């Protein structure tokens, strides 16, 4: 099988990963079929050997001297260190050895060195950040002055564009150490201690003498993984290692022409999880030259608001359609209920730990064990819900860009956002949103279509009018123009007069700023992400959305006025029912299901209103179970409406 990926002229290669499971294996020496439990046991024995050697190596080399030597990129003779961590450690003479009496091959040692080397390399950035924070320790750690902020950013490498939340988090960590020990830590190695080594097998550090991974020639959806695994937890000879063949069913997201790489194995809940890495061809992403852009604004209950703008040759910017919103109030309500439940369980766990003193023979030890199991269960539920929400929101945003024909998505950069002043509940909800995970998924999905994802500064995106850049007046609702609020925005400029939902104006400002500043797009060296770091006043003055020309045709009366009944029929009966045989479904228009209808419509085909359900305390089942919609019952997305609805001079209603 060729490892070289053929590329067209406008294509580039991208490496991604997906997850699969090892459900069975075959011991090639004995011919015995291994069940999932037996396979997980043998993988676990190999994982324990690798993690033990990596932990021993880390405990010996986790200090400032060795981390600086590894991150310098040169060995003692001045030669450049290899990019592979295990090769760099061997060049420096840092070896790892198995326990006494245990026999392993050199590839097992490679995996341990690779894991330890990656942990040591990642500690360099944290060490420099901590050193900069400690060297410029503020008078008041809870609130730095403007001069102190300039000092700490100058002391930290690339600190000018570093989010302030990262510096504040590191300051709080050092302040906690100061409170506990009465002094500041010397460096990050005293502050954090030796990192924990995860139990995994990095097969990418091996060669064909330890593992092979090939796709089936007859069925591209299947692949065969062959690797050497121990037959006992403490192999004493090479005879205690045998080849095991494991068939893997690849997910449909892996293209048939993709080149597969050696995966990473780990055991989770008695199962072997496989992270399959593959390289495939995708269209090239351009950082400049965009004429159609999708702007995305973050919200609380309305998680995403998005719309498209067009940049004309003469520099005018016009809106394409009216945009849409991704509302997930029901999902977020469930998320916050699980968060409160997790907080209660952690509080009770701390009380039990204080009472038992972590003694296994205490009479409360069984209850403490049950509590810890329930905490892990709730944490897993929260993680799964966040994954589903991030995937659904990112998929919706990318679909909006595809429908609008946009070549770039501009995201608001909220990495420095720290919620405050909005009450304890709102502050917590804002701080625990999955914005970073949504952005990562969005970059992954957009990259497959050749769509760039660029972050732009969040300065005044909701404060200024998108049409004239006049400071907006924020009100509670359109029918309450005198009540101060934050949801509805009104432009006080009499020549403009725009009003609309705050989020709808924000995505226009974000997309317009991105189109005018696209020549300032940079690629971050650390993460490889596209971003616009600064707002230029000259370019910002051009980030104005031009209003479309309104029709001025003659609307004079040409005939008699149609008679209207003084007592109209109920609203649900104004629209005629669709033609269908009379039956139990009644004669109501489609979308309003009768209560005695045998089968209710799914959530995607009915009138979705914004609501959340509470946890049932009796035998009552939520409506989501009856509809069979599950997660999507409480996630509501506006369908794409590009080039269909002309924009009016003022919005009279809110999409939320």
3-class SS string, 168-219: HHHHHHHHHHHHHHCCCCCCHHHHHCCCCCCCCEEHHHCCCCCEEEEECCCC
Whether residue 315 is found in the same domain as residue 461: yes
pLDDT at residue 385 tops 50: yes
**Mean pLDDT score, 626-634:** 57
Which residues, 6+ apart, have CB-to-CB distance to 50 below 8 Å?
108, 111, 112, 115, 200, 201
Give mean pLDDT, residues 623-635.
Answer: 56
| Domain annotation covers residue 589 | no
Question: Could you tell me the two tokens for 520?
Answer: 């300032």
Phi, psi of 442 (to 5 degrees): -65, -40
Predicted local distance difference test score (pLDDT) of residue 619: 53
- Model confidence band, residue 105 (pLDDT cutoffs 50, 70, 90): very high
Determine how many CB atoms are found less than 10 A away from the CB of residue 38: 15
Please write the tens of the pLDDT for every residue from 142-197: 889 989 999 999 999 888 878 888 898 899 999 999 999 999 999 999 998 888 88
233 and 84 in one domain? no
Residue 586's pLDDT is 46
Residue 597 has pLDDT above 90, yes or no: no
For residues 364 and 353, give the distance between their C-alpha atoms in angstroms, rounded to a whole number. Answer: 9
434-438, 571-575, 629-633: which has the minimum mean pLDDT? 571-575
Q: Say what the pLDDT of residue 237 is.
A: 92
Cα(175)–Cα(120) distance, rounded to whole angstroms? Answer: 24
Which residue matches tokens 């910002």?
A: 540
Those residues whose C-beta lies under 8 Å from the C-beta of residue 472, and which sit 6 or more positions away, are 462, 463, 464, 465, 489, 490, 491, 492, 502, 505
Let me know whether 452 and 306 are in one domain.
yes
Our measurement of the distance from residue 614's CA atom to the centroid of its chain's CA atoms, rounded to an integer in Å, reads: 26
Q: What is the CA radius of gyration of the chain?
A: 30
d(CA 330, CA 334): 6
Tokens of 576: 């005629």
Total domains, the chain: 3
Q: What is the band of 593 on the pLDDT scale with cuts at 50, 70, 90?
A: very low
pLDDT at 368 exceeding the cut of 70: yes
Which of 441, 439, 196 has the alpha carbon at shortest distance from 298? 439
Q: Is residue 348 part of a domain?
A: no
What's the whole-number mean pLDDT along residues 65-80?
91
The residues pairing with 136 across neighbouring beta strands, listed in sequence order, are none
pLDDT value at residue 298:
87
Residues 228 and 138 in one domain: no
Name the more confident of 526 and 349: 349
> Each residue of 500-509: pLDDT tens digit?
888 888 999 9
Which domain-ending residue is among 222, 257, 283? 283
In the structure, what pLDDT confidence band is assigned to residue 648 with cuts at 50, 70 and 90?
A: very low
How far apart are the two ends of the chain, measured CA to CA in Å?
A: 53
- 620 domain-assigned: no
If asked whether residues 127 and 97 sit together in one domain, one would say yes
**CA–CA separation, 4 and 9 (whole Å):** 16
Q: What are 477's two structure tokens?
A: 């609702």
pLDDT of amino acid 477? 83
pTM: 0.79
Residues 520 and 419 in one domain: yes
Structure tokens at 648: 């009016």
At 75, list the tokens: 């060995």
Under 8 Å between Cβ of 274 and 248 = yes
Nearest Cα to 54, choosing from 93, 112, 114, 110? Answer: 112
pLDDT of 20 strictly over 80: yes
Q: What is the CATH number of the domain that holds 476?
A: 3.30.420
In a domain, 585, yes or no: no
pLDDT of residue 90: 93
**Phi and psi for 38 in degrees, rounded to 5?**
-65, -40
State the DSSP string of 383-439.
Answer: HHHHHHHHHHHHHHHHHHHHHHT-SEEEEE--TT----SS-HHHHHHHHT--HHHHH
Question: Which tens digits make up the pLDDT trace of 447-495?
Answer: 999 999 999 988 888 889 999 999 988 888 887 877 887 788 889 888 8
| Residues 247 and 216 occupy one common structural domain | yes
Say whether both 466 and 327 belong to one domain. Answer: yes
In a domain, 573, yes or no: no
Q: Using the 8-state DSSP alphabet, how is residue 143 labeled?
A: S
Q: What average pLDDT score do residues 266-276 get?
A: 91
CA angle 358, 363, 366 (to 5 degrees): 70
Per-residue pLDDT tens over the stretch 549-559 = 666 666 777 78
Please give the distance of CA 537 from its chain centroid, rounded to a whole number. Answer: 31
Q: Last residue of a domain, which of 540, 558, 584?
A: 540
pLDDT at 310 over 90: yes
Owning domain of residue 103: 50-192
pLDDT band, very low/low/confident/very high, at 604 (cuts 50, 70, 90): very low
pLDDT at 628: 42
User: What's the mean pLDDT when you consider all of the chain?
Assistant: 83
pLDDT band at 645 (very low <50, low <70, confident <90, very high): very low
* Residue with more model confidence, 643 or 500: 500
- Residue 651, SS3? coil
| Residue 371 near residue 348, CB atoms below 8 Å | yes
Same domain, 137 and 243: no
Q: What is the mean pLDDT of residues 65-82?
A: 91
Q: Give the SS3 label for residue 309.
A: strand
Q: In the structure, what pLDDT confidence band is assigned to residue 340 with cuts at 50, 70 and 90?
A: confident
Q: Is there a domain that residue 64 lies in?
A: yes
Same domain, 397 and 518: yes
| 113 DSSP assignment | H
- What's the confidence (pLDDT) of residue 501? 86
Asked whether residue 39 is domain-assigned, the answer is no
298-312, 533-547, 631-645: the lowest-pLDDT one:
631-645
- Report d(CA 111, CA 98) in Å as an integer: 12
Catalogue the E-assigned strands of 199-300: 201-202, 211-215, 222-230, 241-249, 259-260, 264-268, 271-283, 292-298
User: Do 503 and 527 belong to one domain?
Assistant: yes
pLDDT at 432 over 60: no
Residue 126 shares a structural domain with residue 213 = no
Most confident of 241-250, 292-301, 612-621: 241-250
Whether 526 is in a domain gets the answer yes
Give me 646's structure tokens: 């002309």
Using DSSP's 3-state secondary structure scheme, residue 641 falls into coil
Backbone angles phi, psi at 276, to 5 degrees: -90, 120
Domain boundary among 283, 307, 322: 283
At residue 73, φ and ψ (nearest 5 deg) are 85, 5
Question: Is residue 92's pLDDT more than 70?
Answer: yes
């Amino acid at each position: 099988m060729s490892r070289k990926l053929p590329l067209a002229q406008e294509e580039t290669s991208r490496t991604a990963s997906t997850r699969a499971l090892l459900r069975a294996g075959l011991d090639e020496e004995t011919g015995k079929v291994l069940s999932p439990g037996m396979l997980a046991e043998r993988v676990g024995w190999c994982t324990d050997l690798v993690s033990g050697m990596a932990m021993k190596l880390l405990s010996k080399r986790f200090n400032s001297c060795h981390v600086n030597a590894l991150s310098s990129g040169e060995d003692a003779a001045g030669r450049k260190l290899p990019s592979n961590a295990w090769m760099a450690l061997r060049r420096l003479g840092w070896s790892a050895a198995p326990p006494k009496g245990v026999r392993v091959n050199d590839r097992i040692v490679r995996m341990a060195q690779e894991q330890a080397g990656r942990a040591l390399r990642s500690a360099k950035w944290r060490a420099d950040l901590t050193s900069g924070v400690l060297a410029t320790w503020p008078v008041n750690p809870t609130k730095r002055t403007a001069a102190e902020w300039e000092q700490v950013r100058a002391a930290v490498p690339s600190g000018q564009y570093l989010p302030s939340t990262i510096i504040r988090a590191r300051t709080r960590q050092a302040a906690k150490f100061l409170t506990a020990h009465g002094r500041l830590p010397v460096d990050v190695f005293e502050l954090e201690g030796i990192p924990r080594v995860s139990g995994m097998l990095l097969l990418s550090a091996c060669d064909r003498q330890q593992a092979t991974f090939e796709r089936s020639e007859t069925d591209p959806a299947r692949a065969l993984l062959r690797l050497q695994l121990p037959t006992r937890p403490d192999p004493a000879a090479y005879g205690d290692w045998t080849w095991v063949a494991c068939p893997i069913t690849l997910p449909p997201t892996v293209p048939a022409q993709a080149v597969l790489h050696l995966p990473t194995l780990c055991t989770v809940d008695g199962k072997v999880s496989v992270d399959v890495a593959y390289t495939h061809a995708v269209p090239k992403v351009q950082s400049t030259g965009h004429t159609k852009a999708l702007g995305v604004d973050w919200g609380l209950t309305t998680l995403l608001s998005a719309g498209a703008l067009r940049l004309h040759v003469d520099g005018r910017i016009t809106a394409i359609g009216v945009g849409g919103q991704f509302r997930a109030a029901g999902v977020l309500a469930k998320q916050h209920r699980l968060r409160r439940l997790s907080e209660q369980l952690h509080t009770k766990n701390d009380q039990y730990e204080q009472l038992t003193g972590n003694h296994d023979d205490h009479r409360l030890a069984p209850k403490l064990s049950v509590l810890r199991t329930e905490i892990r269960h709730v944490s897993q539920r929260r993680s799964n819900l966040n994954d589903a929400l991030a995937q659904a929101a990112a998929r919706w945003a990318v679909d909006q860009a595809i429908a609008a024909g946009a070549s770039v998505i501009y995201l608001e950069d909220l990495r420095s956002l720290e919620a405050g002043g909005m009450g304890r509940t709102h502050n917590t909800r804002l701080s625990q949103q999955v914005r970073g995970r949504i952005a990562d998924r969005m970059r992954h999905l957009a990259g497959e279509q050749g769509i760039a994802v660029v972050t732009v500064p969040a300065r005044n995106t909701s404060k200024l009018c998108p049409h004239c850049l006049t400071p907006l007046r924020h009100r509670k609702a359109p029918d309450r123009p005198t009540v101060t609020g934050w949801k509805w925005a009104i432009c006080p400029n009499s020549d403009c007069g725009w009003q609309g939902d705050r989020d709808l104006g924000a995505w226009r400002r974000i997309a317009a700023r991105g189109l005018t500043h696209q020549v300032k797009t940079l690629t971050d060296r650390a993460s490889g992400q596209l971003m616009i770091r600064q707002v230029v006043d000259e370019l910002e003055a051009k980030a104005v959305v031009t209003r479309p020309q309104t029709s001025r045709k003659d609307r004079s009366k040409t005939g008699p006025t149609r008679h209207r009944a003084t007592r109209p029929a109920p609203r649900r009966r104004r629209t005629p029912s669709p033609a269908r045989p009379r039956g139990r479904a009644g004669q109501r228009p489609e979308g309003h299901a009768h209560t005695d209808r045998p089968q209710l419509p799914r959530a995607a085909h009915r009138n979705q209103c914004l609501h959340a359900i509470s946890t049932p305390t009796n035998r009552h089942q939520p409506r989501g179970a009856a509809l069979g919609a599950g997660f999507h019952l409480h996630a509501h997305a506006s369908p794409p409406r590009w080039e269909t609805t002309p924009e009016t001079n003022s919005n009279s209603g809110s999409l939320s």
